[in-house]
Amino acid sequence: MIHNSTEDFKRYNEMTKWSTINGVILDGKVVGERAKRPELAYNYHVDGVTYTGYSDLATPSFGGKNYRDQSSRAVVSKYEKGDSIHVFYNPQNPEQSVLKILPKWSSYLQYGLGIIFLVLAFTLLFSGLLERK
């Protein structure tokens, strides 16, 4: 758990070194039946090539169905077709892009649970060793 979430954090740290450019919002909508989330479609141009990206703006996917629907609609309502938006893209692979550089909430959860399990394991191990003496 800790290893996986640490890799996620490293990947997001690398993204902070990506190039930035202005893009244009193509569409914004709420997608998903049960796990509703916002989805923004956007275009950006790098070296004369047009790329299209999709983003949920790192919106957390927890909470009840109504909460996720309302929060997704609130996110989408902030953007209109044609709006300019800041895009981070990978200079080695311009097709890779994000609108926000934030680790997923699940990465924090995995990291936290991993630490809890590690502390619990050490506690049980050392309490067992102390009882043997």
What is the pLDDT confidence band of residue 13, given thresholds at 50, 70 and 90? confident
pTM: 0.69
Band (120; pLDDT cuts 50, 70, 90): confident
Q: Can you give the pLDDT at residue 106?
A: 60
Residue 41 reports pLDDT greater than 90: yes
Question: Is it the case that residue 57 has pLDDT exceeding 90?
Answer: no
Would you mind telling me the total number of residues written for the chain in this entry?
133
Cα radius of gyration rounded to whole Å, the chain: 20
- Given a cut of 60, whether residue 9 has pLDDT beyond it is no
pLDDT at residue 104, as a whole number:
63
pLDDT, position 118? 72
Q: Are 80 and 24 in contact (CB under 8 A)?
A: no
Stretch 74-84: mean pLDDT: 95
Beta bridge pairs of residue 68: none
Please give the share of the chain, as a percent, with pLDDT higher than 70. 77
pLDDT at 119: 78
Helix (H, G, I), strand (E, B) or coil at 28: strand
Enumerate the domain spans of the chain.
Answer: 1-16+101-133, 18-100
More confident residue, 51 or 112: 51
55 Rama class: left (phi>0) / alpha (psi -120 to 50) / beta: beta
20 strand-pairing partners: 88
